[in-house]
């Protein structure tokens, strides 16, 4: 499905491929970067649960291999280095063992929603701390 056709619709999982300069955003005569940015935003917000974005370093285009740059939309979305994984559900549950880089190992005693993330109540050897899920790793 094209980005244009997705306006007003939502899907559980969205895969957007071709996030390279020249493809998304489309560059050239008559292209409007603000319109391309708006279309990118529309496509990113169609996902209910999972959004997968991909790009390649080169591809065959118009009969020859072309080196490509990652789309500026990665940088504008805060995805400069590596990847960002935002989930609406948490992989953590009560009773899981986790590690925090300052507090060490602890056990989750509660999970609650906090904005776009999950807040974990963790018992670190008798000291209970509330920490966002992105700051701990599962043991």
Q: Which CATH class is domain 4-76?
A: alpha beta
Contact 65, 91 (CB under 8 A): no
Q: Give the percent of the chain with pLDDT over 90.
A: 21
What single DSSP character describes residue 20? B
Long-range contacts of 32-41 (CB under 8 A, 24+ apart): 37/73, 37/76, 39/3, 39/4, 40/3, 40/71, 40/73
Handedness of CA 111, 49, 21, 24 (dihedral sign): negative
Task: Quickly state the pLDDT bin for 78 (edges 50, 70, 90).
Answer: low
- Whether the ω angle into residue 27 lies within 30 degrees of 0, i.e. cis, is no
pLDDT at residue 108, rounded to an integer: 93
On the question of pLDDT at 34 being above 90, the answer is no
pLDDT at residue 107, rounded to an integer: 95
């Amino acid at each position: 499905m094209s980005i244009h056709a997705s306006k007003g619709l939502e899907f559980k999982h969205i895969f957007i491929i071709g996030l390279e300069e020249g493809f998304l955003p489309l560059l050239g005569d008559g292209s409007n970067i603000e319109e391309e940015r708006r279309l990118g935003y529309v496509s990113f917000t169609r996902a209910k649960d999972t959004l997968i974005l991909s790009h390649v370093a080169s591809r065959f285009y118009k009969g020859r291999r072309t080196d490509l740059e990652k789309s500026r939309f990665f940088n504008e979305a805060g995805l400069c280095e590596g990847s960002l994984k935002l989930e609406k559900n948490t992989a953590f549950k009560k009773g899981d063992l986790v590690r925090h880089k300052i507090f060490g190992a602890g056990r989750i005693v509660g999970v609650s929603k906090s904005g776009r993330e999950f807040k974990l109540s963790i018992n670190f050897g008798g000291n209970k701390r509330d920490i966002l899920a992105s700051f701990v790793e599962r043991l």
